[in-house]
Chains A and B, each alone.
Chain A
Amino acid sequence: MVKICESLPCSIELPAGAGKTQLIAELANDYRHREHRTLILTHTHAGVDALRRRIRDLGGSSKWTTVRTIDGWCFDLIKHFPELANLEVKPEPNWMEADKYRLAAERAVRTRAVRRMLEVSYGLIAVDEYQDCVLTQHRVVVALHEVVPTAVFGDPLQGLFDFGDNQPVGWGDVLELFPPCELPIKAWRWVGQNEDLGRWLLEIRPALKSGEAISLEGAPVQWRCIKDSERRVHTQSTACFDQPEGGSVVALGHMPHDCRMAAAKLNGSYSMMEELEGKRMLEFAEIVDVGDASVVAQATVEFACECAVGVAESIEKRKRKRLGQGKSISSRKMELSNAHLKLSALLEDSSPGAVRLALRELARLPRFLLFRHEAWSCTIDALTHASVDPQLNVATAVRRLRNHDRVIGRRAAKRTVSRPLLVKGLEYDYAVLLDADHYNAAELYVALSRSCRGVSVLSAAPILSPA
């Protein structure tokens, strides 16, 4: 701790589970005792949550530490100072513009008024998960470090991206401005849980960094063979069902589609994690906003099919297509007729309120089992908001709700289907790697290091050669 304080600005490279969150929390605590406030910036809201919790556990409070996502902090700043930022923004952020926001925030940070605010507000800025910074975020942090002593924390082996054009910052560039501060490393996450696993994860880092294959022979992981065959999905769900009761489990797929397939097979016992932008919800919301009745009707039932088991079998594909053609559907089965009626009613009235009623009716279908809780409840809430406020369209309501989640953080389900990208920084008791052959080195390391008690790896052979 003293070493960090003395070498500011600096960077601290810490592997997963080596106590990074704890270290940042303790650092903030140390500053609090010296009556300095700390600004902690990270990337995900899950990260924000974890840091806040850890700080609270140490007896800290929001009076002394502010924990925000970099982008959330940037947007908040430029929203208040459009002239300093030279960018006018709407009250709700549109994260497609995040790059613009960051550059604007960089401009604002370089003004006298904001510098003064930062100077009187903080004695330390700590940036977590620095390997996830894109270049524009890096620029903001560079501007910040000119005003307030700054420490950046990260692990270049956990840099995961799917942001298209956005370039992640090169770790070499980071080291130039933030000289490395070497600390002794211990695999804290696994202490008292699965210390072998913790040690093994430290051992494989050099191989992963240099792009070599790693062997699972003798490794403290449970390996299952999985082939490209029809039994593939079956093997995956068996592995998931086999996980011990009483602990949290994350099942990690590779592509969003795989995850949905897997989640659907798991009969609602696992809930699927959505990416923060909420693409699928937005897509549906925009259809409702356009308001083409037959399109809305079909999209409503298709959306339900994607969120829950038990819908597709009750309202067959043929009927869903009929709706799309603007023709009403019906069923003679008592337990199905109400859902049919409500869906047909959408052909007359496809307002958000009516869509909401239809979805709720679908939820009463027999064998209805939700596996995309997040997508479902967010959509229901957005439809409710839009139905009571005629000024509000559904897509805006979805964005607002997602932003709200961004700010307050979401509660993870006990059993989750997700992807390495979405669970960075999260911790579970057990992890199942559904498709370990397709990961790159960073994805593989992130996936393997999520759980502290046990890991199951599904791959074609007990040798993993990251892409």
Chain B
Amino acid sequence: MAEIQIQNLNKRYGGFNALQDMSLDVKDGEFIVFVGPSGCGKSTALKILAGLEAATTGNIIIGGEDVTELAPAKRDIAMVFQNYALYPHLTVRQNIGFGLMMRGADKKEINQRVERAAQALEISDLLERRPKALSGGQRQRVALGRAIVREPRVFLMDEPLSNLDAALRVQMRAEITALQRRIGVTTIYVTHDQTEAMTMADRIVIMRKGVVQQIGSPDELFNRPANMFVAGFIGSPAMNFLRGEVRRDDGGLFIDAGGLRLPVADAAVPFVGKMVICGIRPESLELARGDGSALEITPTLVESLGTEAYVHFRLPEQQVKTAVAGEHEHPPLGNGTLIARLYDVGTSFSGGTIRLGLKPQASVHLFDPATEQAIR
């Protein structure tokens, strides 16, 4: 059994809080992804899980055993590093078998298991080479082989795909996911790339500056983000944020955002008469039909990608500047644009104004401007 409980984990360096009160329960066989911009504490958490760093306070329980004070060697875990960390002076075979050799397995068994793992990862013909004779993708597989051959309780992966080129990354993503499903080992995977998180995870832990923002399945994070950071981090292009006032009339509760009338749920009742922030995903916008309420905008830039187009526009009074968060967090851009993702638009725009409306089934996310928390 390899469930993991992370209990109130804290990590402080002098006055600096790398990790604040992180708690998480992982079920056996789950694929958990820690995601967030650099400095959010995801790698720190992983290193503490591995035993490569000590927590300031808090506990780690693996398979019912409190491993907080145990050396990495004794935790029965395997780790894949961003730079693969293959032993340069050993062959691929020796690299993969290193952990087994350290645990005193006999030679015959080591060879058997190494060959099985190599077969599973399609690197059987590379066994006698040394790491420097391998390509990035091949080294990646050797690193994976080294991890799976020991059949540990937990896999830890620290941004293993970051050093691969984009095309290879897509392919390896699928392979790692498939591998994990086959083997069924509890896995904790760290990345800054929200696409990897969304496509690979059973559950995602999204972090920022040492604080856990939200824990949930990809769907949950996408459809019910807990705050503006999560809303803006997940999904590409990022969510548009507009200011609007909550009003009530005969038609019910609504928000007037720059001319567009957005229906809202009763949770917004306490905010009547006040400004809130609305989050609308680019793909939730479409060209307005009919004469209903709409946003009248002048596109500043149209990026055409064949079947879809990203239409950039600005609403100086309404739009909210947010930090741009990808691999790193950047301060809000002064000249940022809002984006609408329109499909099948055919001809390009001549530069005049267009009218945008909300798609029928699309959701609008509301956030309290003071706390940046979602209004539910």
Q: Do A and B bind?
A: no
A binding-site residues for B, Cβ under 8 Å: none
